[in-house]
């Protein structure tokens, strides 16, 4: 979503499979196997568990915001899940674009690297059921994997936190008590714009009463606004009037929540999406063995929130081993990132003819695999189709290291290697 997910969505299983070879090296098992070397090299880094790393600190700070709730906090380390877990159990259609090899990393036809923490949602609901609801919810944190565009805010490995909270439908008094505990004070309430109040909204689950849906929705919204606002208040005073940071709720759509909501934050002059959420679909709970309950779920991208709160301008920085980055941060504190360098940009253009089989994500993936993190962004700068129906694309590859100045000969060699890889790997004709 935003992360409960950007393409929307959440069973389980950390596979212990003979398909997985030592040190994250995967056999090419079938025609679906498509995990490149640059992904294999970064698996196992576990940034969200490294003490002092901004992503680890943000995970712990978010968990603290929910410490008064009866929940399990879970870190999922192995990213390998079944496609049933990642897609089918969440109601993602067989034809959905997210299932394509251009969007998802596959170990084989039936196994992939999770594309969202939602892949573990049903597992954790089952754990709640097996414990006879000894807890009312959970927070899941994990690294997730998606083939995507190349720019300062997108990376093929990122991190999410998934949360859920449930009530027994017979315990209306408990629901109202919980709602009272997350009531916003008048000053904070003034900062919240709610364009998703359920008034005249027809996308509700028939099984739940309007009162149940409203209580779950308001409790969800207030809990998340309180959590995010408390983190905003922790950011250093660098000219931002924190009392005027605003929050906006809008409707969204996800396969596993109904109704669904998106939270945006007005930060330094712009509205930024930070999470997706909603009322859990009753059939998900039923699959998990939880009867007669109602509740909410959310998903948030940790990098996106960290880039806002820590003022980190480039998502590649989370993966750097440069001490000039890591020494700036104190565990469980939010500090403003101080750029330690801005090395010059060097760009090269590449043009080629394509056919109907071309997928931009396949091109971006090849750029990442050949050029690693030396590419800052890739931009489509020209496109045209001839009278004969042939289509040409021209991309600009923007090279910039975060750690040193690149030499022209280094960039030229990268570009030569990229052209060779494109000619041999994609069904294109270089120009």
Give residue-wise pLDDT tens across range 352-377.
Answer: 999 999 999 999 999 999 999 999 99
Mean pLDDT confidence for 257-269: 95
The answer to whether residues 386 and 312 belong to one domain is no
> Do 384 and 251 belong to one domain?
no
Q: Which residue reads 């006879």 in tokens?
A: 132
Are residues 272 and 233 located together in one domain of the fold?
A: yes
State the SS3 of 317-348. Answer: HHHCCCHHHHCCCCCCCCCCCCCCCCCCCEEE
Of the pLDDT bands very low, low, confident and very high (cuts 50, 70, 90), residue 194 is: very high
Report the CATH number that the domain containing residue 112 is assigned in CATH: 3.30.930.10
Work out the average pLDDT over 67-71.
92
**Domain C-terminal end among 296, 326, 356:** 326
pLDDT at 1: 52
Which residue range(s) make up the domain with 351?
346-430
Task: Return the pLDDT at 8.
Answer: 31
329 band by pLDDT with thresholds 50, 70 and 90: very high
Note the pLDDT of residue 20. 35
Closest CA to 116 of 201, 234, 9: 9
Answer yes or no: is 71 within a domain.
yes
Question: Region 263-287: what's the mean pLDDT?
Answer: 95
Domain identity same for 234 and 262: yes
Tell whether 318 and 404 lie within a shared domain.
no
Residue 399 pLDDT greater than 80, yes or no: yes
CB proximity list for 194: less than 8 A, separation 6 or greater: 221, 248, 249
List C-alpha distances in Å: 357 to 179, 378, 379, 385, 426: 51, 20, 20, 16, 9
Instruction: Look at residue 238 and tell me whether its pLDDT is greater than 60.
Output: yes
Shared domain for 212 and 311, answered yes or no, is yes
Is residue 112 assigned to a domain?
yes
Q: What is the pLDDT of residue 87?
A: 94
Write down which residue in 326, 361, 376 finishes a domain.
326
Q: Determine, yes or no, domain membership for 14.
A: no
For residue 14, name the pLDDT band (cuts at 50, 70, 90): very low
Residues 263 and 297 in one domain: yes
Give domain status of residue 333, yes or no.
Answer: no
Write down the pLDDT at residue 2: 43
If asked whether residues 305 and 383 sit together in one domain, one would say no
Per-residue pLDDT at 231 exceeds 70: yes
pLDDT exceeding 90 applies to what percent of the chain? Answer: 83
Among residues 264, 296, 326, the one where a domain terminates is 326
Q: Is a pLDDT exceeding 80 seen at residue 3?
A: no
pLDDT higher at 44 or 115 = 115
The enclosing domain of 372 has a CATH number of 3.30.70.380
Residues 287 and 382 occupy one common structural domain: no
For residue 4, is it within any domain?
A: no
> Is 241 in the same domain as 352?
no
In a domain, 315, yes or no: yes
Q: What does the pLDDT look like over 118-160, one tens digit per residue?
A: 999 999 999 999 999 999 999 999 999 999 999 999 999 999 9
Residue 15 placed within a domain: no
Least reliable range by pLDDT among 4-8, 217-221, 406-410: 4-8
What was the pLDDT predicted at 26? 59
Q: Say what the pLDDT of residue 7 is.
A: 33
Structural domain count of the chain: 2
Q: Are residues 145 and 284 in the same domain?
A: yes
Average pLDDT over residues 223-252: 91
Does 337 fall in a domain?
no
406 and 292 within one domain:
no
């Amino acid at each position: 979503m935003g992360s409960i997910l950007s393409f929307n969505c959440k069973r389980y299983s950390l596979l212990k499979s003979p398909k997985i070879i030592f040190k994250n090296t995967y056999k090419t098992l079938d025609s679906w196997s498509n995990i490149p070397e640059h992904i294999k090299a970064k698996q196992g880094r576990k940034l969200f568990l490294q003490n002092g790393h901004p992503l680890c600190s943000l995970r712990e700070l978010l968990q603290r915001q929910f410490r008064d709730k009866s929940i399990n906090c879970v870190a999922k380390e192995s990213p390998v899940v079944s496609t049933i877990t990642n897609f089918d159990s969440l109601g993602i259609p067989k034809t959905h674009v997210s299932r394509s090899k251009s969007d998802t990393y596959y170990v084989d036809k039936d196994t992939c690297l999770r594309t969202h923490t939602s892949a573990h949602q049903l597992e954790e609901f089952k754990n709640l059921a097996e414990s006879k609801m000894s807890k009312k919810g959970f927070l899941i944190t994990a690294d997730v994997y998606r083939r995507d565009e190349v720019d300062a805010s997108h990376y093929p490995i990122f991190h999410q936190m998934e949360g859920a909270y449930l009530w027994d439908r017979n315990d209306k008094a408990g629901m109202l008590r919980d709602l009272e505990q997350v009531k916003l004070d008048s000053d904070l309430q003034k900062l919240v714009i709610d364009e998703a109040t359920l008034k005249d909204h027809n996308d509700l689950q028939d099984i739940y009463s309007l009162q149940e849906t409203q209580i779950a929705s308001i409790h969800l919204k207030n809990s998340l606004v309180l959590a995010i606002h408390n983190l905003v208040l922790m950011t250093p005073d660098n000219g931002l009037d924190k009392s005027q940071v605003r929050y906006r709720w809008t409707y969204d759509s996800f396969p596993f929540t109904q109704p669904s909501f998106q939270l945006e934050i007005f930060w330094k002059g712009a509205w930024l999406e930070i999470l997706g959420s909603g009322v859990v679909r009753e059939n998900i709970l039923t699959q998990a063995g939880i009867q007669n309950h109602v509740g909410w779920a959310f998903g948030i991208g940790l990098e996106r929130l960290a880039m806002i709160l820590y003022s980190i301008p480039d998502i590649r920085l989370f993966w750097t081993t440069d001490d000039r980055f890591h020494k700036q941060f104190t565990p469980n504190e939010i500090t403003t990132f101080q750029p330690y360098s801005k090395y010059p940009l060097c760009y090269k253009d590449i043009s080629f003819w394509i056919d109907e089989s071309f997928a931009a994500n396949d091109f971006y993936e090849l750029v990442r695999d050949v050029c690693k993190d030396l590419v800052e962004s890739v931009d489509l700068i020209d496109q045209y189709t001839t009278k004969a129906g042939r289509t040409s694309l021209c991309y600009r590859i923007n090279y910039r290291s975060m750690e040193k100045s690149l030499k022209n000969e280094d960039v030229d060699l990268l570009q030569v290697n990229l052209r060779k890889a494109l000619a041999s790997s994609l069904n294109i004709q270089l120009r």
